[in-house]
Amino acid sequence: MKTKTDLLLELFLEARTRFSHQLENLSENDLPKKLGDSPNSIGFLIRHIGDVELLFAKNVFGDRSVKVSAKTVIEKRDAGEWTDLESLKTYVAGSFEKLKSIVEQQTDADWETTVTTQEFGSKTKAEAFGRIVSHTTYHAGQMGIIHKYGTIVQQGDTNTINR
């Protein structure tokens, strides 16, 4: 019989393919694309997903080895700087591995413990994990629409992130 960790990890891995499969079909020319006057480019969303995965590994699951400067969360705006595809792919590959690694270390009892964060208050680790899974898939959906219908807009846009 599978543990809670095994089951939740399977859910996470499958859900994240909505994001990771898109990375295979992007070019650097796609990264500055936005949809209409929406605030976020594809490059920004990729970086944001990585930032939040690292924050979850550190703040929700307690991985003290994580060092993160979550620029997209701190700045809350897309300044058009996320244009290096290989760098972004490397960043989100690392954020994925960090989060996956700490999740694999959870016991069944760990999933029922409560964690408190500034962003979403008090939740069990299982509930909090639902937030990171839905966060990634939410932004992956945005990326898919932007990739298909978006256009390149002027850099330096100061709109704020739509979480």
Burial group, residue 70, by CB count within 10 angstroms (0-12, 13-18, 19+): middle
Q: Bridge partners of 123?
A: 115
Instruction: Tell me the residue range of the domain where 57 lies.
Output: 4-61+71-152
Over residues 16-42, mean pLDDT: 95
Is 160 a member of any domain? Answer: no
> pLDDT of 31-59, one tens digit each?
999 998 889 999 999 999 999 999 999 99
> pLDDT of 118-150, one tens digit each?
888 999 999 999 999 999 999 999 999 999 999
- The tokens for 114 are 């409560």
Chain centroid to CA 98: 12
Indicate the number of domains in the chain: 1
Is 159 a member of any domain? Answer: no
> Residue 159: what are its φ and ψ, rounded to 5°?
-65, 160
The CATH number linked to 19 is 1.20.120.450
How many Å apart are CA 62 and CA 47, to the nearest integer?
21
Is 163 a member of any domain? Answer: no
Query: pTM, whole model, 2 decimals?
Result: 0.91
Question: Is residue 154 predicted with pLDDT exceeding 80?
Answer: no
Closest to 147 (Cα-Cα) out of 37, 35, 50: 35
Burial group, residue 135, by CB count within 10 angstroms (0-12, 13-18, 19+): middle
Is 158 a member of any domain? Answer: no
Is 46 a member of any domain? Answer: yes
Closest to 46 (Cα-Cα) out of 26, 65, 61, 29: 26
Is 66 a member of any domain? Answer: no
Is 10 a member of any domain? Answer: yes
Is 140 a member of any domain? Answer: yes
